[in-house]
Chain A
Amino acid sequence: MAVDPLIELRDVNKYYGELHVLQDIDLTVGKGEVVVVIGPSGSGKSTLCRTINRLETVQSGEIRLDGQPLPQEGKALARLRTEVGMVFQSFNLFAHKTVLQNVSLAQIKVRGRKKDEADKRSRELLERVGLATHAGKYPAQLSGGQQQRVAIARALAMDPKALLFDEPTSALDPEMINEVLEVMRQLANEGMTMVVVTHEMGFARSAANRVVFMADGRIVEDRAPEDFFTHPESERARDFLSKILKH
């Protein structure tokens, strides 16, 4: 692909004790690209996602964001994280704050926006994810799907260059999955750079530019979605697809 790379991983290795969870990972995500990471559980896909904003450290290799290597702990790392939003499997909304405060908090603390200005931006974003009327509620008063949409609004509030999704729909009831995927699809259409770890093959097919298939800590395939789903090259991917697509 001839686009500017935004996220680059080179020879990344990570161990949990003896367990080699990421093995020689090379991955480039271009600006505006949507990359979906799939694979069996324990294949390292969530870990891969979390290394990109250094919620997980790596033992060797290099990770670059917009050309800059990831800094160590501290202010520089915090600044870099504002550029990469993250959406978690378990939403992780701040339980003691209202929906509006959840979206505004980091804008005020990190971006240094005035409260009015931050709240105005938050309301726009909540409107966009269809939750403007819930601004005054606490996270526990919302359904899972609604909480996840708030979490997406919260990540967007920092005006990030890229968004990471770590199994954003895995903790949701089936009927709520679509409302979240719809928001994600909309973001993809608007040109947001996204790395999405998911089991939603429909989303991978319709919204992704590339599908990365991981197994046992390695990237096994990295191809266009249609190619991957119709003609998987590796035995491992064929086996995986046969298990999840036929029933």
Chain B
Amino acid sequence: MDVLTDNFSTFGEGFIGTVELTVFASVLALVLGFLMASFRVAPVGSLRAFGTAWVTVLRNTPLTLLFFAVLLGLPRFGLVLPFTVFAVLALGCYTSAFICEALRSGINTVPKGQGEAARSLGMTFGQTLSSVVLPQAFRSVIAPVGSNLIALAKNSAIAGAFSVTELLGTYKTLNELGYNIIWTFVWIALGYLIITLAISAVFNILEQRWGVAR
């Protein structure tokens, strides 16, 4: 029990670190996922190919490998950024591939005729997607997007191995100080639970608000 009270600031820093990673990487994943999903349904072949390549590469690469590639690879090409930013990049890009596919399956639930009707009224591809297809797709992808962001929150633990301050990484410090490892992990687990349950709650509200209205 002392583990928490004695080291509240260490846990606090780790917790904040994980929250930051989760929030920034989520935003990046949502933006990129949205963009890639648009690419994958675009009428332009090269955009579709790009979207498909993006998903194929990122979805099929182990996340740890991706971290190595970003954190050790990019500096070789002269791109030097704080490790936290690299971690956000790796997590965000990785998760964007999954978000993209969730969005795309949502797009496929919208009857084809809706898009045809919009196009027959002279709406461009972008307008059709943003005012007709995506608002309807959005309703059916709330749950899977939520799951992906929860996975992202947990995946952020990998960043700890690359000396980014985050929740799981705090165990190393506390272990060295001789605290009970079991209790350390219990408190860490509780920290993750707070974050993931918060994400669940947000998505539950979204689903109640938008999910069923037809």
Q: Which residues of A contact B (CB under 8 A)?
A: 53, 55, 73, 75, 78-86, 88, 90, 92-96, 105-106, 109-110, 138, 140, 151, 154-155, 158
Compute how far the CA of A66 lies from the CA of B181 in the bound complex, rounded to whole angstroms: 79
Compute how far the CA of A138 lies from the CA of B118 in the bound complex, rounded to whole angstroms: 17
- Contact: B214 with A55, CB < 8 Å? no
Residues of A within 8 A of B213 (CB): 96
- Shortest CB-to-CB span from A192 to chain B, Å, is 16
Query: By CB atoms of chain A within 10 A, which of B43, B113, B120, B124 has the most?
Result: B120
Residues of B within 8 A of A110 (CB): 121-123, 127
Residues of A within 8 A of B135 (CB): 96
The residue from B44, B120, B123, B214 contacting A95, defined by CB atoms under 8 A apart: B214
Query: A-B pairs with the 5 shortest C-beta distances?
Result: A82-B122, A106-B121, A92-B117, A92-B113, A86-B120
The residue from A81, A92, A106, A158 contacting B114, defined by CB atoms under 8 A apart: A92
- Contact: B120 with A81, CB < 8 Å? yes
Compute how far the CA of A107 lies from the CA of B113 in the bound complex, rounded to whole angstroms: 19
Compute how far the CA of A158 lies from the CA of B44 in the bound complex, rounded to whole angstroms: 27
16 contacts between A and B (CB under 8 A): A78-B119, A78-B122, A80-B122, A81-B122, A83-B122, A84-B120, A94-B114, A94-B136, A95-B114, A95-B136, A105-B121, A106-B121, A106-B122, A110-B127, A140-B214, A154-B121
Identify the closest chain A residue to B124 (Cβ).
A78
Q: List 17 additional A-B contacts (Cβ < 8 Å) besides A78-B119, A88-B113.
A: A53-B120, A55-B119, A81-B120, A81-B121, A81-B122, A88-B117, A92-B113, A92-B116, A94-B118, A96-B139, A96-B213, A96-B214, A105-B131, A106-B123, A110-B127, A151-B117, A158-B122
Residues of B within 8 A of A85 (CB): 120-121
User: B66 at interface (Cβ–Cβ under 8 A)?
Assistant: no
The residue from B43, B119, B127, B132 contacting A94, defined by CB atoms under 8 A apart: B132
Compute how far the CA of A140 lies from the CA of B111 in the bound complex, rounded to whole angstroms: 14
The residue from B119, B132, B136, B214 contacting A81, defined by CB atoms under 8 A apart: B119
Q: Per-residue 0/1 for B121-149: is the Cβ within 8 Å of any A Cβ (1 yes, 0 no)? A: 11110010001100110010000000000
Residues of B within 8 A of A109 (CB): 123, 127, 131
- Contact: A93 with B127, CB < 8 Å? no
- Shortest CB-to-CB span from B188 to chain A, Å, is 42
- Shortest CB-to-CB span from B103 to chain A, Å, is 16
- Contact: B43 with A73, CB < 8 Å? yes
Compute how far the CA of A85 lies from the CA of B114 in the bound complex, rounded to whole angstroms: 14
- Shortest CB-to-CB span from A59 to chain B, Å, is 18
- Contact: A94 with B124, CB < 8 Å? no
- Shortest CB-to-CB span from B177 to chain A, Å, is 56
Compute how far the CA of A105 lies from the CA of B130 in the bound complex, rounded to whole angstroms: 12
Compute how far the CA of A79 lies from the CA of B119 in the bound complex, rounded to whole angstroms: 10
Residues of B within 8 A of A94 (CB): 114, 117-118, 132, 136
Residues of A within 8 A of B139 (CB): 96
Query: By CB atoms of chain A within 10 A, which of B44, B114, B213 has the most?
Result: B114
Residues of A within 8 A of B124 (CB): 75, 78
- Contact: A158 with B121, CB < 8 Å? yes
Compute how far the CA of A92 lies from the CA of B120 in the bound complex, rounded to whole angstroms: 11
Residues of B within 8 A of A82 (CB): 121-122
- Shortest CB-to-CB span from A43 to chain B, Å, is 21
- Shortest CB-to-CB span from A73 to chain B, Å, is 5
Compute how far the CA of A23 lies from the CA of B110 in the bound complex, rounded to whole angstroms: 32
Residues of A within 8 A of B116 (CB): 55, 86, 88, 92
Residues of A within 8 A of B123 (CB): 78, 106, 109-110
Compute how far the CA of A187 lies from the CA of B122 in the bound complex, rounded to whole angstroms: 21
- Shortest CB-to-CB span from B9 to chain A, Å, is 48
Query: By CB atoms of chain B within 10 A, which of A86, A93, A94 has the most?
Result: A94
Compute how far the CA of A151 lies from the CA of B114 in the bound complex, rounded to whole angstroms: 12
